[in-house]
Amino acid sequence: MHINKIEVIALYKRYGFEVINTNDEYIIVCTINNGHYYNADIVILNDTSNSEKIFTDYTKTGYACKIRKYTSIKDVSETLFKGFFSVNSSKERLEKSYTKFTSSLVSSFSENSKYSYINSNYFINGETGCLDVVSEITSRLSDSKPTLFLIEAAAGFGKTCTAYELLNNLIKNHNDLLPLFTELSRNRQAKIFRYVLLDEIDNFFPTLSSKLVRLEIKDGKVPVILDGFDELLHTKLDDNDEINETMIETIGELLEGKAKIILTTRRTAMFDGDEFHEWMNSHKDDFNMVRIKIDEPTVDHWLNESRIELLKKNDFSIEKLSNPVLLSFLRSISDLEFLEVATEPNMIVNKYFELMLDREKTRQDLNMSVEEQYSVFTRLAKDMIDLSYTSESREYFISCFLEYEQQLLEEVRSRYAIESKPTKDELANKLASHALLDKSNIDNKGIGFINEFVLGNFCAENIINSTDDYMVEDTRFIAPAVISYIPRSSEQKHTLWSSLAFVLDFIDISEKIKYMISLNNRITDDIQDATIERIIMKDIQFGTEYKLSNSVFINCTFTNSELNCINIHEVSFVDCNFYNSKILNYKGSSSITLLGCNSDNNLEAEIMKYTEVKEESADDKDKDCEIFILSRFWNKGRNTFYKHRHIKGLYSGTSTFSHKDILKGLDRLRKKEFLLQPDKVSFAEFNTAKLSEIKSYMERK
C-alpha cells in the first residue's frame, strides 16, 4: 500500500486539520481541536511503517488517537466526508422528513392510505421523456461536468413531490452522496439569494463551515435540491437593498467541478428571458443544462380502470381532473366514499374539503364544525394575500387564530365538558396542527397550506368575496386560485373569472389567455397587439365572437380548434402545432401567416399558397427590415453581439415594420442561414459561422 502523501495532506487540511510530519516520511499526524476535545488521526501511508510510539506519545499528551490505514485516496476522501458530514445520521433525518411529507399527503384521506409517487409525462430539453424525471436526473449524477437541472411545472403539478422523490432516491440508492435539500419558500430571513443559500447551508450543516460544504458541493458529493425557486422571485425587496447580484450568478458560482444543482420552479419569465439565455450561452462550456418540464397529470396515471369507468358512467368531465391533489384524493378514499363522490361529480371539491375537515374533528378532538373550520382558513388566506406570504412560523399562525378568531374560539370552548375544556391557546394549537397545513418541512422554518390547490381554494374564496379591485396585488396567488377552480362547475369558474377582471389586465397576456380558457373554456375578449407563448388550446374558437388582431402566437398547440379569418387580422403563428384544427374563410386572405408550423392535416401547405414568401431578391424595404432584425443581435457601435434573442424582442419597439414584416424577415434570414433555430423555439440564434457575410450584408466595417 502506498498513497500519495501530498494528496492526503490536502484532503485533511480541507477539513481543518493541522498536519504534522513525523520522523517516518510515511506517517503523518493530523490533529484537530473540537472545543474541549483533541483528536489525532495517525495516517500510515506504507505497510512497513510502525506507528506504535507515535500513538503512545500523542495519547499521553491528551489526544484521542486513531490509526488510519487507507486503501486509496478515494478511501481517505470518503472516510473524512462520512465522518464530518455525519452521513448516516443526516440521511436518517432526511428519510424521516420524506416519510412525514408523504404521510401528510394521504393520511388525511384514510388511515390506511399509502403514498406512491406518480410518474407524469414530461419533456427533457424539448423532447418527450422516455424514463421518469428522477431517473433522468440520477443517471447524470456521475457526469464529470457540473450540471444544472431545471424542473418546471405549473402550480400543483407535483414539483415538490418530485423533489422529495429525488431526495428519497438519493438517500436509498447513493451511499456516497448526501443531498442538501431545502424548500426555499420556507426561508424568509434573507432577501438576497446569496444569503438565502448560505443560510440554508448553515442550517443544514450547522457544525461545518460553509466553505467546506461548498467545496463538497463542487466535488459532487453534496447534490443541491432547491425546491420552489420561483418563490424567491416574489420576495419584495426594499429599494436600498443590494439586488444587483442575481440569483443565477450565485448558482453559477457553485457550478464548478462535478457539482449537481436541481431547481424546481414554476414556469417563469426569468428562465425564458434574454438575460438567462445570455448567461447560459456565456457558460455553455462550463456546465451542462438539463431542462425538464413536467406535463399535467392524467387520470390514467392515478386511478384504476374501475374507478375511471364509474366516473365516466356518471358523466364526470374527466379532463377536469388534471390536479394531483384531487387525483390523490380519489385514489386514496374508500370505495364507499368514492361512490358518493362519483355520483355528484360537480361537488368533488366540496367533498374533498368536507372529508378533510370532518376527519379533523375526530383526529384532534376539535369541536368545530366543517363550516367554522373553513371560515378560519379562509381568513388565514386573506392574511397571506394582504401581507404577501405563503408560509410563516407556527407561532405566527397561532397568534393569527387568537387575534382573528377570539369569539369563535370562546364559542368552541363552551362545547366541551368542564373536565376536558381546552384553553383558547390549546385550540389555536390544534388549528396550527390542522391537516390542511403543511408541517413536514425539514428545518421547521415555517408552515403554510399543505399544497397549492388548498392555498388556491382559500385565496379564491377571498377574491370572489372581496369588494376591493386591488384584492390581489401579488399575482402569485392567481395561478393557484385558477387551478383550484378548474374542476368546478361553469358557473363557479365564471364567478372567479369575473372577480379577477381588474387584476388580469396587469398580468402577462399569455397567462391571461391561459386563465381565460381554464375558467371559461373559450375566448371571451378581443385580443390585440399581443404575443402569446406556449399555450395549449383545445376545442377553442378564435375570431368567431371576438376579434384577434396584430398578434403573434409562438410555440402554441391547437387541438380541435378553429381560426375564423373573418375576425382575424394580421396574426402570425410561429413554430406552432395544429392537430385536427381548421382555419376558416382564409382563401385569398393574408390575415394569417404561418412560419415553421406543423399540422396533421397539411394545413400549413394550404395556407402557404397565400402567404408564401417570394424567392426573388429582396427589395429595399425587405433588406432594411432584415438589417433591423440583425441589429437587434448586433447593435451598431458594439464589438460584441447577442447570441440569442427572444422572437418577441425582435419586433417590439418599432413602428417602421409590422410584426408580420419582422417575422417574414426572420424567415428570410433563416433561409440565408444568418439566423438559426436554437433548441428553444421562442428564440432566434445569431449564426457566428456567417459573421463575415452578416457584417458585409449590414455594411459594417
**Tens of pLDDT, residues 315-357:** 777 766 767 778 888 888 888 888 888 877 667 888 889 888 9
**Which stretch of 245-249, 502-506, 653-657 has the lowest confidence by average pLDDT?**
245-249
The count of other CB atoms within 10 Å of the CB of residue 34 is 10
| Reported confidence tier of residue 271, pLDDT bands at 50, 70, 90 | low
Report the amino acid identity of residue 672.
K
259 touches 222 (CB < 8 A): no
Is the pLDDT confidence value at 446 over 80?
no
CA dist 167 and 163 (Å) reads 6
Is the pLDDT confidence value at 80 over 90?
yes
Question: Average pLDDT in the 74-100 region?
Answer: 90
Question: Average pLDDT in the 527-552 region?
Answer: 88
43-81 b/e (C-beta count within 10 Å ≥ 16 → b): bbbeeebebeebbeebeeeebebeebebeeeeebbbebb
Highest mean pLDDT among 3-12, 191-200, 317-326, 336-345: 3-12
CA dist 230 and 232 (Å) reads 5
**Taken in order 565, 568, 574, 575, is the CA torsion positive or negative?**
negative
Enumerate the domain spans of the chain. Answer: 5-72, 87-117+119-294, 522-605, 620-697
| Reported confidence tier of residue 439, pLDDT bands at 50, 70, 90 | low
pLDDT at 194: 61
More confident residue, 198 or 515: 515
3 state SS for 73-116: HHHHHHHHHHHHCCHHHHHHHHHHHHHHHHHHHHCCCCCCCCCC
CA neighbor of 555 nearest in space, from 538, 575, 571, 537: 575
Question: Average pLDDT in the 375-397 region?
Answer: 91
8 touches 43 (CB < 8 A): yes
pLDDT at 588: 60
Report the amino acid identity of residue 166.
L
- Per residue in 571-608, pLDDT tens? 888 888 899 998 888 766 667 888 878 888 877 666 66
Question: Average pLDDT in the 354-374 region?
Answer: 89
Q: Which three cell numbers stand for residue 218?
A: 463542487
pLDDT at 402: 93
More confident residue, 250 or 190: 250
CA dist 76 and 55 (Å) reads 19
Give the chain's mean pLDDT. Answer: 82
Q: Supply the pTM of this predicted model.
A: 0.69
Instruction: Name residue 592's beta-bridge partners.
Output: 571
pLDDT at 42: 92
| Reported confidence tier of residue 622, pLDDT bands at 50, 70, 90 | confident
Question: Average pLDDT in the 361-374 region?
Answer: 90
Specify the 3-state DSSP secondary structure of 571. strand
602-626 b/e (C-beta count within 10 Å ≥ 16 → b): ebbeebeeebeeeeeeeeeebeebb
Domain 87-117+119-294 CATH superfamily: P-loop containing nucleotide triphosphate hydrolases (3.40.50.300)
Q: Which three cell numbers stand for residue 63?
A: 489526544
The share of the chain scoring above pLDDT 70, in percent, equals: 85
Question: Helices 490-499 and 452-465, interaxial angle, to 10°?
Answer: 70
pLDDT at 25: 85
| Reported confidence tier of residue 679, pLDDT bands at 50, 70, 90 | low
- Per residue in 473-529, pLDDT tens? 677 888 889 988 888 888 889 999 999 888 887 788 888 898 999 899 889 889 988
pLDDT at 626: 86
**Where are the extended beta strands (E) located within 445-538?**
448-449, 527-528, 531-533, 536-538
Report the amino acid identity of residue 473.
E
pLDDT at 470: 57
Is the pLDDT confidence value at 245 over 50?
no
pLDDT at 690: 83
pLDDT at 320: 65
The share of the chain scoring above pLDDT 90, in percent, equals: 24
Question: Average pLDDT in the 14-35 region?
Answer: 88
pLDDT at 653: 63
pLDDT at 138: 93
**Rounded to whole angstroms, what are the CA distances from 690 to 596, 639, 670, 676?**
22, 16, 12, 11
Exposure on the CB side of residue 639, measured as CA atoms within 13 A: 0
pLDDT at 195: 61
Is the pLDDT confidence value at 241 over 90?
no
pLDDT at 431: 92
Q: Which three cell numbers stand for residue 631?
A: 441589429
CA dist 33 and 145 (Å) reads 35
**Rounded to whole angstroms, what are the CA distances from 620 to 401, 626, 653?**
70, 10, 21
Q: Which three cell numbers stand for residue 209?
A: 463551515
Q: Which CATH architecture has domain 522-605?
A: 3 Solenoid (2.160)
Q: In degrees rounded to 5, what are phi and psi of residue 537? A: -120, 130
CA neighbor of 19 nearest in space, from 68, 78, 75: 68
The count of other CB atoms within 10 Å of the CB of residue 540 is 22
Q: Which CATH architecture has domain 620-697?
A: Orthogonal Bundle (1.10)
Q: In degrees rounded to 5, what are phi and psi of residue 27? A: -130, 130
pLDDT at 186: 54
CA dist 547 and 354 (Å) reads 43
